[in-house]
C-alpha cells in the first residue's frame, strides 16, 4: 500500500529553520468520506427521483426543477467553500457538512409518508444540497493536500472510484 495512505511523519523545516515533525493528512479518511457521500446523497437521489415521479406524480421536468433544491448549492457554495477552506480547518468543515447532511436525511425520512409532497421534502433536500456543495470541493482539496505531484492522478482517481462505489453500495443498500 502506498505510503500516503498511512499515517506517517515527515521532516519539515520549522519557522526557525530547524527540522520538526509534521503529520501528513491521510488520504484514506478522505476516501471514506467520498464513499459515504456517494452512498448517501448520490444514491438517495435515485430514490428521490422515483418518489417524485412514481408516487407524488411529478413529470420529469417538474422533478428536475424540484431537485435543483439539492443541485444549486454546489454552484453557490463551491466558490465560498474554497475561500473558507483557506481560513478554516477543512476537516471540521467536512465534519460539519456531513452532520448537516445527516440531519437532512433524518428530515427526509420523517417526511416520507403516504401523503408526502415537495413542501415536506424541501428542508431535508436543502440540507443535503448544502452538504454536497460544501463537501465536494473540500474532498478534492483535502484529498490532494500533501500528495506528491506524480501521485495526484492516483489520489484523485481513488476519490472518484470510492465515490462511485459508494453510489453503487448505497443504491443496493437502500433498494
Q: Name the residue ranges covered by the structural domains of the chain.
A: 25-174
In this predicted structure, the answer to whether residue 8 has a pLDDT above a threshold of 70 is no
User: Higher pLDDT residue, 82 or 25?
Assistant: 82
* Span 23-41, average pLDDT: 81
Q: pLDDT-based confidence at 76, cuts 50/70/90?
A: very high
Q: In this structure, is the dihedral angle defined by the CA atoms of residues 114, 120, 122 and 126, taken in order, positive or negative?
A: negative
Mean pLDDT over the full length of the chain = 85
pLDDT digits (tens, 9 = 90+) for 136-163: 889 888 888 878 888 888 888 989 999 9
In this predicted structure, the answer to whether residue 102 has a pLDDT above a threshold of 70 is yes
Q: In this structure, is the dihedral angle defined by the CA atoms of residues 153, 6, 29 and 24, taken in order, positive or negative?
A: negative
Cell 409518508: give the residue. 113
Contacts of residue 171, Cβ cutoff 8 Å, sequence gap at least 6: 43, 46
Lowest mean pLDDT among 9-13, 60-64, 74-78: 9-13
Give the count of beta carbons closer than 10 Å to the beta carbon of residue 132.
Answer: 23
CA 80 to chain centre: 15
Q: pLDDT-based confidence at 3, cuts 50/70/90?
A: low
pLDDT of residue 154: 87
Q: pLDDT-based confidence at 122, cuts 50/70/90?
A: very high
In this predicted structure, the answer to whether residue 15 has a pLDDT above a threshold of 90 is no
Q: pLDDT-based confidence at 19, cuts 50/70/90?
A: very low
Q: Check if CATH label 1.20.120.530 holds for domain 25-174.
A: no
Where does residue 103 fall: left (phi above 0), alpha (psi -120 to 50 degrees), or beta otherwise?
A: alpha
* Span 90-117, average pLDDT: 93
Task: State how far the Cα of 87 lies from the Cα of 65, in Å rounded to an integer.
Answer: 34
Q: pLDDT-based confidence at 2, cuts 50/70/90?
A: low
Predicted TM-score (pTM) of this structure: 0.79
CB 101 within 8 A of CB 126: no
Amino acid at each position: 500500500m502506498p505510503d500516503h495512505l498511512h499515517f506517517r511523519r515527515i521532516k519539515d523545516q520549522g519557522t526557525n529553520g530547524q527540522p520538526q515533525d509534521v503529520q501528513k493528512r491521510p488520504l484514506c479518511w478522505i476516501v471514506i468520506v467520498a464513499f459515504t457521500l456517494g452512498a448517501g446523497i448520490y444514491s438517495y437521489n435515485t430514490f428521490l427521483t422515483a418518489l417524485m415521479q412514481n408516487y407524488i406524480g411529478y413529470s420529469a421536468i417538474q422533478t428536475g426543477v424540484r431537485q435543483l433544491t439539492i443541485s444549486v448549492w454546489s454552484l453557490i457554495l463551491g466558490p465560498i467553500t474554497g475561500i473558507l477552506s483557506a481560513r478554516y480547518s477543512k476537516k471540521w468543515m467536512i465534519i460539519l457538512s456531513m452532520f448537516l447532511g445527516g440531519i437532512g436525511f433524518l428530515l427526509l425520512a420523517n417526511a416520507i409518508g403516504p401523503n408526502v409532497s415537495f413542501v415536506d421534502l424541501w428542508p431535508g433536500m436543502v440540507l443535503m444540497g448544502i452538504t454536497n456543495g460544501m463537501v465536494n470541493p473540500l474532498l478534492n482539496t483535502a484529498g490532494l493536500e500533501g500528495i506528491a505531484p506524480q501521485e495526484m492522478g492516483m489520489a484523485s482517481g481513488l476519490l472518484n472510484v470510492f465515490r462511485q462505489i459508494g453510489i453503487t453500495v448505497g443504491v443496493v443498500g437502500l433498494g
